[in-house]
Amino acid sequence: MNVDDLRWFVVLAETEHLTDAAAVLGTSQPNLSRSLRRVEDAFGVRLFEREHRGLRLNPYGRIVLESARAGVAAVDAAAQRIDALMDPDSGTVRLAFLHSVATGVVPDLLKAFRATAPGIRFALREEPSHDIVRDLESGEAELGITGPRPDRDIFGWHLLERQRLCLYVPPGHALAGLDHVSLAEAAAEPFVALRPDFGFRRVTDELCRAAGFTPHVAFESTDLTTVDRLVGAGLGVAVLPGGAVRGTESGATPVPLAGVKARRDIGLTWRLRGELSPAAERLRTFIQSLEP
């Protein structure tokens, strides 16, 4: 028994006549009879009483009819939703991205894309890099914006931007006027940082370790804007991507970090072994057409 058998059963139950139902369905009476037999075999009971002028739904049939209508309606609704998702002009893109690009890279990209595809919707997930990789592997997300690049044997990658990392310092700080700064010069400063489970926190810790010290973290947050504002309030310094925080007048001053490792690559990534929905493929093609 399959969905079409249930669909045919509903028509037969509503007409209670093999000939009429077969005509409505555009099939032959033998085909319809075989379909009915499959439904009755699946439930183990007869669903109609045979009469000389046709068929009459019995109590078992009425029970099956109620569920068959609901089941067919649910399958049809699912098919409609899938068709909508698969529409390159009005589908939904499942996109995951880092917290640290939520105020810059992501809104800029989506604004530019929506100018070319206003009907496409987004299911957005803002999360740490390891969760982005997990969601791409499971299919919860189709595309991810993250850094650094994940396993190249599993994921495709397109560079979006190379971010210069900066030491953000409070207003009037002694380091605020420099063209660049060695992170070691901030070894004695209290740090405001993201929580340890965030990918960019690991970037901060690794840079400090390379500079020869372990940072004294005075406060941990889950939000870059909060980090920026706390630095502006004088609670400490922070390592952040230059320009990552927008729309704030905290007073925190970014000073570029010296060294070739003081940068972060942000890119679009996707699972290589998998097919993107048309809407997601359209977004990927659009992004790849942009200059990094």
Domain of residue 101, CATH code: 3.40.190.10
Any idea what the CATH number is for the domain that residue 72 is in?
1.10.10.10
The fraction of the chain above a pLDDT of 70, given in percent, is 98
Local confidence band at 157 (pLDDT 50, 70, 90 cut-offs): very high
Same structural domain, 217 and 227: yes
List beta partners, residue 161. Answer: 266
Same structural domain, 135 and 272: yes
Same structural domain, 181 and 252: yes
Inter-axis angle of helices 3-15 and 29-43, to 10 degrees? 110
Output phi, psi for 124, to 5 deg: -100, 145
Same structural domain, 178 and 257: yes
Of 249 and 70, the one with more pLDDT = 70
Same structural domain, 258 and 272: no
pLDDT exceeds 90 at position 91:
no
197 CB-near residues (< 8 Å, 6+ apart): 128
State how far the Cα of 149 lies from the Cα of 261, in Å rounded to an integer. 15
Q: How far apart are the first and last CA of the chain?
A: 54
pTM above 0.85, yes or no: no
Same structural domain, 16 and 76: yes
Local confidence band at 113 (pLDDT 50, 70, 90 cut-offs): very high
Instruction: Domain of residue 75: give its range.
Output: 3-85
Same structural domain, 23 and 99: no
Q: Which of 27, 54, 85 is the last residue of a domain?
A: 85
Same structural domain, 245 and 177: yes
Give residue for tokens 């045919």.
Answer: 8
Q: How many domains does the chain have?
A: 3
Same structural domain, 34 and 108: no
Same structural domain, 36 and 68: yes
Same structural domain, 136 and 185: no
